Amino acid sequence: MDMDKTNVIVREGFLVKRGHLVHNWKARWFVLMPDKLLYYKYDGSKRDSCQRGTILLKDCVITCPFLEYENRPLVIKLQTKNGVDHYLETCSREERDDWAADITAAVDKLRTAEDRKVTNQQAPAGSHLRDINLSKVLDSMYDVHSGIKMSNHVEQGCTYSNCFSGSAVVDWLVFMQLTLTRTEAMTLASALLEEGFLRTVGLRSVEALRTAGLGQQFMDDSTALYSFSDSLKKRGSVKTESSVSAVELSGKVIKRGYLLKQGHRRKNWKVRLFVLRSEPAFIHYYDPTKDDISPVGGFSLRGCLVSSLDDNGVPSGVKGKIQGNLFIIITQSDTRYFIQAPTHQMKMDWIDAIRELT
């Protein structure tokens, strides 16, 4: 039996979408089809059967990364054939790039052979890095309005101010169209590092600089930190300070993802961005409609128990509509966190990752 190809689901999952009229951000369930992107609201813990919107992909223009929203580096911008802009935020850089790649592939398949021919003729050939003036790149990066944003970052219990991650630099170079690919961006950033325009901050980037081969000394990594050279004084110098919260947030990020969490008081279900870290082992969760800088909650995994819950019936302590894929984390102080994953596989992946750290 032939299935209509337009009914094939290419990809689905939570994304955070900016509203058209009121520019607030809300978590929605997105379903990518070969010719369109559908999105739904989650009512409590179940997907609303009423479709909230459709984005037609034919002749869509995708911008990824899209960096015009401060503190939201994981946004994809889609502009439809009719000039309507849609802004979608993912839970990680990997997810962002995977969603963008799948959407781009769908858009490309919808183009006619003639469209593809024109696109191929217009595509720039070969690397153009040899023509780039490093001083001009530095000036652009340093621009107060359109340059790379600096902020505080935590590594191994220390907070470093006035710096940025390697991934943020690569994102910015691609977004500003100074490079065509992330690999080219790493090569360009390595050149900036070699010339002393940028410098390493913290242990991760220092170690990479010491061990990497020439031309690939810069890390496309959200935990490798860099800053401008000391000769650029007006933005302030990097300092370190220690705090309890800094220690909690200093571990290596093992896993990030959108999960549904039941509230402790109102017992309602909300989409939260969960971040699992090791050394020290902590889970933090964030309100994805705001940012991933200040967690709304978190706890140590020391002495925690994590287990899958049966999808048949509603377990004790669980309220509201349940879609399934439930699991529970019980902390050392006997606080119970009820969580739902979008799929069974995601539930098992989270349970396995948490168990490895407890």
Give the three-state DSSP class for 342: coil
Identify the residue with better confidence: 58 or 132.
58
How many angstroms separate the CA atoms of 275 and 145, rounded? 30
pLDDT of residue 248: 79
> What percent of the chain clears pLDDT 70, i.e. is strictly above it?
84
Spatial contact of 173 and 226, defined as CB atoms under 8 Å apart: no
pLDDT of residue 241: 43
Q: Is the pLDDT of residue 311 over 80?
A: no
pLDDT of residue 115: 62
Domain 129-241 has CATH 1.10.10.10: yes
Distance of CA 183 to the CA centre of its chain: 19
How many angstroms separate the CA atoms of 186 and 173, rounded? 9
pLDDT of residue 240: 46
Which range among 68-72, 86-90, 324-328 shows the weakest confidence by mean pLDDT? 68-72
Q: Which residues pair with 305 in a beta bridge?
A: 330
Q: Please determine whether the domains at 5-122 and 251-355 fall in the same fold group of CATH.
A: yes
How many angstroms separate the CA atoms of 198 and 138, rounded? 9
Could you tell me which residues come within 8 angstroms of residue 356 by beta carbon, excluding any fewer than 6 positions away? none
Burial of 180 (0-12, 13-18, 19+ CB in 10 A): middle
Q: Over the stretch 180-233, which tens digit does the pLDDT of each residue have?
A: 888 889 989 988 887 788 999 988 888 888 776 655 679 998 889 999 987 764
Could you tell me which residues come within 8 angstroms of residue 176 by beta carbon, excluding any fewer than 6 positions away? 140, 146
Name the band, by pLDDT with cuts 50, 70 and 90, for residue 328.
very high
Other Cβ atoms less than 10 A from the Cβ of 124: the count is 7
Write the class of the CATH domain 251-355.
mainly beta
pLDDT of residue 139: 86
Identify the residue with better confidence: 290 or 155.
290
Burial of 46 (0-12, 13-18, 19+ CB in 10 A): middle
Comparing C-alpha atoms, which of 282, 327, 277, 320 is closest to residue 301?
Answer: 282
Q: Over the stretch 130-164, which tens digit does the pLDDT of each residue have?
A: 667 888 888 888 887 788 888 888 777 778 888 99
Which range among 16-20, 55-59, 99-103, 119-123 shows the weakest confidence by mean pLDDT? 119-123
Spatial contact of 182 and 174, defined as CB atoms under 8 Å apart: yes
Q: Return the DSSP state at 5.
A: G
pLDDT of residue 125: 39
What is the SS3 string spanning 52-96? EEEEECCCCEEEEEECCCCCCCCEEEEECCCCCEEEEECCCHHHH
Name the band, by pLDDT with cuts 50, 70 and 90, for residue 290.
confident
Q: Is the pLDDT of residue 174 over 50?
A: yes
Identify the residue with better confidence: 282 or 22.
282
Q: What is the mean pLDDT of residues 120-139?
A: 63
Q: Is the pLDDT of residue 30 over 80?
A: yes
pLDDT of residue 250: 79
pLDDT of residue 173: 93
pLDDT of residue 234: 46
Q: Is the pLDDT of residue 117 over 60?
A: no
CA angle 264, 267, 268 (to 5 degrees): 120
Average pLDDT of the chain to the nearest whole number: 83
Spatial contact of 352 and 295, defined as CB atoms under 8 Å apart: no
What residue ranges do the domains of the chain occupy? 5-122, 129-241, 251-355
pLDDT of residue 348: 95
Q: Is the pLDDT of residue 298 over 70?
A: yes
Q: What is the mean pLDDT of residues 341-356?
A: 94
Q: Which CATH architecture has domain 5-122?
A: Roll (2.30)
Q: What are phi and psi of 226, to 5 degrees?
A: -140, 165
pLDDT of residue 53: 85
Which range among 32-46, 131-145, 234-248 shows the weakest confidence by mean pLDDT? 234-248
- Write the single-letter amino acid at 250: S
How many angstroms separate the CA atoms of 52 and 48, rounded? 9
Which range among 94-103, 290-299, 343-352 shows the weakest confidence by mean pLDDT? 290-299
Q: What is the mean pLDDT of residues 258-276?
A: 90
Q: Over the stretch 91-113, which tens digit does the pLDDT of each residue have?
A: 999 999 999 999 999 999 988 64
